[in-house]
Amino acid sequence: MNQPSGVADANPAPPPPPHGLRALFSIKEAPSRWSVAVRAAICAGAPLVAGWLTGLTAFGLMASLGAFTSLYGSGRPYLNRARYLALVALSFAAAVALGLTVETIPWLVIPTVVVIAMVSTYICSALRVGGPGAYMFTLTCAAGTALPAAGMAPWQAGLLVLSGGAFAWVVHMVPALFLPRGPEKRAVAAAGRAVAAYARAAGTPRQRGARHRAALALSAAWAALVTYQPTHMWQGATLNRLQRINQQLHRLFAKTVRDTAGGEAPGPEVADQAVRLGFAAAKAPTAHWHGGSIPLGAPGPWEALRDGLRRGSVSQLVVLRVGVAALVAGVAAGLLDLERAYWAVAASVLILHAGMDWTRTLQRGAERLLGTWAGLLLAGLVLLVRPQGPWLALVVMAVQFTIESTVMRNYALAAVFITTAAITIASGGRQVADIPGLLLARGVDTTIGCVIALLVFVALTPRATLTRIPAAMAAILAAAGPVVDFLAADQAASRPAHHARRKLQAAVFAMDESYATAVGGSAVQRRAAERCWAAVSAAQGLAYSLLAACWMLEQHDGGAAGELAAELSAELGPGTGGAETIRGAFTTLATAIHTGKAPGPLRELPRFLRKETTALAESLPLSPAEGAAASGQAAG
């Protein structure tokens, strides 16, 4: 690879994800989840208490499956969350009702579970739902068919699950009575902390990771402030103020990007101001915001679902893997005459639904197997004690609280309690005649599902994985061209320009995901990714410089913004040919990326983006033959 000296040292490549025995037993840093854990425990225990009080324990157990609704929607604004959680609760009810409907038709059982797994994976992947994602819908369907439901029609079971989901909906929405803009304030405060961390990391090896985290936090804040807000309602002073604060944070982010691109480190006042703005998000509104344009936020759900159907999308690959693994696991469990083939299917979905790279998928499989077999011992103890009534509710609540408290810190530990919860709820406090047999069956089911999931991952990992990083770089250049045109036309704040800027930001995020996937893949993929690192860093730097220029121009305060506007007018304005020259350089570089050959000489570039474009040209990954030729020329 043609790489300028010092690039790798100044901006080292991020390491592969942690894995191995040490990662199995390590406790990761993660935000506190006590409020989520308390909510999950209340929602899981209430239906069981209601069933005990009414003498309808089976009904309470079935309704408790709807409590999984409480695991979704955290961080969303409350109006959006209300609709979102209603859809989740309805989906859980439909999954259980459908599973019970086909239970009496053996040949339909596995296809139905596979379809549920694939549809839920596609929706959760395309919409970036996050944990627990599609897995819970498959698990709920499996658990629902295992519960004692004698004399219970599928529609009755569905209504019971829906009632549990409705209770979770109410618990989720209670804070809206006291902190109606709480999620938006927390999102802006998180963006403030991330921008401050980036400003402090500028000029250090931590700069690149901090910049990415700050960009993600700002994007998440804009999603909370724009994407998830109703368009037909008055915004109010609080939301208006939060949008203003996030705008100021984004300008600080842009200033830090421009300073570091120019070789300067921002002063400590930048980080201090970001911290103050983060704290200011919690204060009462003082005035409306009357200046600057509001970004578009994240793409809407329909646009995201369409993108998920795009040929070659990551969502398609993940859905394919989940579908094949679920089908093979179900068939294998059936051929082995296992009593509940659903559990094997659920285990395979768990390993694959998140779309992780090979290293993290293998690690998740090991964590799940270790946690499951350890959890079977705890579950066996619960089955021996056989808690009833309120004691059963207390056990389920304690287990659910522990799951949500530990799942982000150590998944293997959380899997111990996930296994205990699933078996405890499925047994429903009944006397189990053969406890060792039941536990062994669940362990074998999980092992089969995990092993099949890993084999399917290997079999369905396309060779194109090695070319995704170059393709992502080309996508950044393709998305950068229109942004250059809007800057040249002094229209960076227009709505079409915001669409172009959002597309460029998405391309940067996709580049980071492509690199993380490759570096977490096989040894060959990891080496190929590391050879591309200098070019990946240069391409992202070019994109962030463009986006930073757009944000700077929106300040309308003279100073740095005025100087930048004058510079762009002189270099990119009509008649200068500057924008055409930059677009031509982008085309040349994109061609070199696709062919693996060294780019031809670039025309004299305007000062704007000259450094970034040259850095990318000098660090492009070349084919082996081209790389050898370039090295020979350099040596000569």
Choice among 39-53, 410-424, 524-538 with the minimum mean pLDDT? 524-538
* Residue 47 lies inside a defined structural domain of this protein: yes
Q: What is the pLDDT of residue 628?
A: 39
Looking at 459, 475, 496, the residue that finishes a domain is 459
Query: Do 454 and 316 share a domain, yes or no?
Result: yes
Mean pLDDT, the chain, as a whole number?
84
Shared domain for 450 and 341, answered yes or no, is yes
pLDDT band at 465 (very low <50, low <70, confident <90, very high): low
pLDDT tens for 86-123 read: 999 999 999 999 888 888 787 888 888 899 999 999 99
* Residue 6: per-residue pLDDT: 38
Region label for 310, one of left (φ > 0), alpha (ψ between -120 and 50) or beta (otherwise) = beta
- With respect to residue 26, please indicate whether it lies within any of the assigned structural domains: no
Is residue 292 in a domain?
no
358 in any annotated domain: yes
Over residues 135-153, mean pLDDT: 76
Predicted pLDDT at 149? 61
The count of domains in the chain is 3
Residues 212, 264 share a domain: yes
In a domain, 53, yes or no: yes
In a shared domain, residues 490 and 631 = yes
**Which residues lie below 8 Å from residue 332, measured CB to CB, with a gap of 6+?**
344, 448, 452
In this prediction, residues 221-231 reach a mean pLDDT of 86
pLDDT digits (tens, 9 = 90+) for 530-585: 888 888 888 988 999 888 888 888 765 556 667 777 877 788 878 788 888 898 99
Domain shared by 215 and 132, yes or no: no
Q: Are residues 315 and 447 in the same domain?
A: yes
For residue 65, the model assigns a pLDDT of 92
Residue 284: the pLDDT is 57
Mean pLDDT of 268-276: 91
Q: Does residue 120 lie in a domain region?
A: yes
44 pLDDT band, cuts 50/70/90, is very high
Tell whether 588 and 455 lie within a shared domain. no
Which token pair is 342? 């659903």
Return d(Cα 475, Cα 480) in angstroms, integer: 8
> Which residues 6+ apart lie within 8 Å of 264 measured at CB?
none
Residues 168, 214 within the same domain: no
Q: Which of 10-19, 30-39, 84-93, 506-515 has the lowest mean pLDDT?
A: 10-19
Confidence of residue 8 (pLDDT cuts 50, 70, 90): very low
pLDDT given at position 619: 87
Helices (H), 341-434: 341-352, 358-385, 389-406, 411-427
Where residue 293 falls among pLDDT bands split at 50, 70, 90?
A: low
Q: Note whether residue 549 is domain-resident.
A: yes
**What's the mean pLDDT in 307-319?**
80
The DSSP H or E segment spanning 73 is: none
Please give the residue range of the domain that contains residue 66. Answer: 34-177+310-459
> What pTM did the predictor assign?
0.84
| Number of DSSP helices (H) and strands (E) in the chain, helices first | 26, 0
428, 459, 490 — which closes off a domain?
Answer: 459
Is residue 78 domain-shared with residue 202, that is, in the same domain?
no
Which pLDDT score is estimated for 63? 93
Whole-number pLDDT of residue 85: 95
The stretch 323-332 carries a mean pLDDT of 93
- Specify whether 318 is located in the same domain as 248: no
> What would the two tokens of residue 411 be?
């998944």
Predicted pLDDT of residue 631? 37
* CA-wise closest residue to 237 among 285, 198, 271, 278: 285
Residues 264 and 141 in one domain: no
- Asked if residue 22 belongs to a domain, the reply is no
The predicted model gives 479-507 an average pLDDT of: 88
Q: pLDDT, tens digit, for every residue of 581-616?
A: 898 999 999 998 888 788 878 888 888 888 888 888
Tokens of 295: 């970004």
In the chain, helix, strand, coil percent, each to 5? 75, 0, 25
Give SS3 for 99. helix
- In a shared domain, residues 200 and 141: no
pLDDT value of residue 3: 44
Q: Which of 198, 246, 248 is nearest to 223 (CA)?
A: 246
Domain boundary among 230, 260, 280: 280
Give the pLDDT band of residue 200 (cuts 50, 70, 90).
very high
